Homo-oligomer: A and B are copies of this chain.
Amino acid sequence: MNGAQSLLQTFVDAGLEVCFANPGTSEMHFVAALDSQDGMRSILGLFEGVVTGAADGYARMAGKPACTLLHLGPGLANGLANLHNARRARSPVVNVVGEHATYHRGLDAPLTSHIEGFASPVSGWTRVSESADTVAADAADAICAAMTPPGQVATLILPADTAWNDANGAATPLPPPEPTPAERAGIESAIAALKSGEPCTLLMNGLGVTEAGLRLASQIHQATDARFLGDTFIARVARGVGRVELPRLPYFAEQAEQLLEGTRHLILVDTKAPVSFFAYPGKASELTPDGCTVHTLSQPGEDALAALTEVAEAVGAVSFAPIVGELRDPGLPKGAISPENIAQVVGALLPEQAIIVNEAATSGFAMPALTEGAQPHDWLDLTGGAIGMGLPAATGAAVACPDRRVVSLQADGSGMYTLQALWTQARENLDITTVVFANRKYAILQVEFMRVGAHNPGRKAMDMMELNRPDLDWVALAQGMGVPAMRATSAEQFAAAFGKSIATPGPYLIEAVV
C-alpha cells in the first residue's frame, strides 16, 4: 500500500464517500488509488471552482465532508473563492492538494508556488504531509479538523513522493468532536433579558436555524414576545409547510437598522453581532442599535440546541406548540415573464423535499415570500459573497441527496463564474433544475454604484455593469455542456418547462429573460 492508497483508505474508513476532483500529474497516484481502494466515488469538475463549490453544497446537505482533489497551488487558487464561501458556511471540507515531491519543492519548477500561503486564508487547518508513513494519520486528522464544530475547511498538502512511496496502511478514524456546551453566563444573561419584559431579538444562524432550533425559537417567542430573526445569509435553513417561518435580516444596512430599531436585548444564537455587508460613506457599519445589550447565547461550535432548550424551559415556553407554516399555493401566473412570476411558479410547483440553491441576487427578491408556503424544502444561500457558488453548490447538493430535486436559482452574472458545473451535472445525470435569471447586467452594482455615492454613471462605468453587447445565450451554453435547455419569455412557458423538468430525471436549464 502506498501513501495515496493509505490516504484514500483512511477517508473511506472514516465514512467519506465522495471526492470532487480536478487532478493533475502530481495527483496521479491518488487517482490510481480510486480503483485499488473500494468505496470512493470520484466526480470530475472541469474547473476547480466547481470542485470546491460542490464540496460546499455536498457538506451542507450530507452533514459530513467530501474531499476535493486539487492540482498544486494554481489548482487550489482556482478553488479559493468557493472555499471562502464554504468557510463562511462553516461547511466541513477536506482538501487534498497535490504538491511537488519533497525533494523537488525547493527547485522552483514552473508550477511551484507557496501553497500554504494560498490555503491559510480559507482553511481552519492546514498541513503538509512529510512522508508516506504519516499520510494516513494526516488524513484522519484532516477529517477530524473539518468536522470540528461548527465545521471548517481542512487542507492537506500532499507532496507526490508521500503519495507514491510505501506506507504502513490506513489510520484509524478519529471520533468527530461534539459541539461544546454554551457558556453559562451567556445562557443566564439571555434568560434574564427574556424575562425582563424589554424588547428582545434572537439573531440566529447555524444550529439555531435547523428545524429543531426554529421550533424552540417559536416556543420562546410565544412565551416571551421576543422576536427571532435569521442572519441575511444562511448555509442551510429548513422552510415550507410544517416548518417555523424565519424572518431574515435584510441585506441593505438601513433596512436592517430599521428592523432592529427598538431592540433592547440582542441575543445571538450561533452567530455574531450584525455588520453591514459593505461600508458606505457616512453610514454605520455596525448594526446593533445604540443602547442595545448584546447577549451571546451560543457561539459557533457550541451546542445552540441545548442552550435554546434550557432557555425555553426557563421562560416557560415548552408548553407552547411551535407555529408552523401551512400550504399557501400562490397559483400559476400568466403573461410576460418576471422575477415575481418566476417566484410564483417555483412556489406553486416546488416538489416536496426539494433543495433550493439561491444565487439569484437581485432577481431573487420575490422568492423567499412566494416559497415560504411551499412544500417542505431546504434553502441554501451564498454565505461568503464570492459569486459563482450557485451552480457548483447545486451540483454537490444533488450528489448528497440523489432522491431530492435541486432547484438552482442563478443570476446570469454570477452564473458565468463557474458555468463549467453544468458539464458535471450532465455527466452525473443529476436531478437539477437551473433557472438562469437573464437580466443581462450586474444589477446589484447598478444599485450599489449609487449607494456608495458615485452618481450618474457614464458610458464607461455602465459598460462595467452591463452584460449585453453581446447577450449571453444560456441555452447554447448549457447545450454546449450537455444539459438540455430552453428559453422562457412568458410565465406560461416558464411554468410548463419548470413543471416538466422537476418531473424528469436529470439536469435541465431554463433561461428566463427577465
Contact = CB atoms under 8 A, between A and B. Distances in A.
Nearest to A29: B454
A457 B23 contact: no
Contacts of A21: 464
A470 B429 CA distance: 10
A469 B46 CA distance: 13
A279 B103 contact: yes
A84 B275 CA distance: 34
Nearest to A22: B464
B482 A480 contact: no
A77 B74 contact: no
A417 B449 contact: no
A427 B471 CA distance: 9
Contact of A423 (B36, B77, B454, B472): B472
A99 to B, nearest CB: 10
A110 B383 contact: yes
A54 interface: no
Interface string A10-48: 000000000001011110110110111000001010110
A54 to B, nearest CB: 15
Interface in A45-85: 46-47, 49, 72-75, 77-78, 80-81, 84
A139 B244 CA distance: 53
Contact of A121 (B73, B100, B458, B481): B73
Contacts of A383: 110
Interface stretch (A111-119, A311-319, A488-496): A111-119
A6 to B, nearest CB: 15
A461 interface: yes
A103 B279 CA distance: 8
A74 B78 contact: no
A445 interface: yes
B277 A445 contact: no
A417 B35 contact: no
A504 B472 CA distance: 23
Contacts of A451: 25
Given A32-B461, A84-B113, A108-B272, A476 B471 contact: no
A384 interface: yes
B469 A480 contact: no
Interface string A403-436: 0000000000100110110010011000000000
A109 interface: yes
With most chain B CB atoms within 10 A of its CB, the pick from A110, A385, A452, A463 is A110
B476 A479 contact: yes
B74 A84 contact: yes
A455 B265 CA distance: 65
A486 B44 CA distance: 27
Contacts of A104: 275-276, 278-279, 285
A28 B78 CA distance: 25
Interface string A375-409: 00000000111111000000000000000000000
A471 B483 CA distance: 11
A260 interface: no
Contacts of A164: 281, 452-454
B160 A278 contact: yes
A175 to B, nearest CB: 29
Interface string A110-150: 11011001101110000000000000000000000000000
A452 to B, nearest CB: 5
Contacts of A107: 275, 285-286
Contacts of A46: 413, 416-417, 467
A448 B28 CA distance: 8
A445 B28 contact: yes
A290 interface: no
A104 B101 CA distance: 41
Contacts of A475: 480
Nearest to A475: B480
Contacts of A445: 23-25, 28
In the complex, the 8 A-B pairs of residues with the closest C-beta atoms, listed nearest first: A35-B458, A470-B482, A74-B386, A476-B480, A101-B279, A77-B80, A477-B480, A32-B454
25 contacts: A25-B278, A25-B445, A31-B460, A32-B461, A35-B457, A35-B458, A42-B464, A46-B467, A75-B81, A77-B386, A88-B110, A101-B279, A107-B285, A108-B275, A109-B276, A110-B384, A111-B384, A111-B386, A114-B121, A117-B121, A118-B121, A164-B453, A472-B480, A473-B480, A476-B480
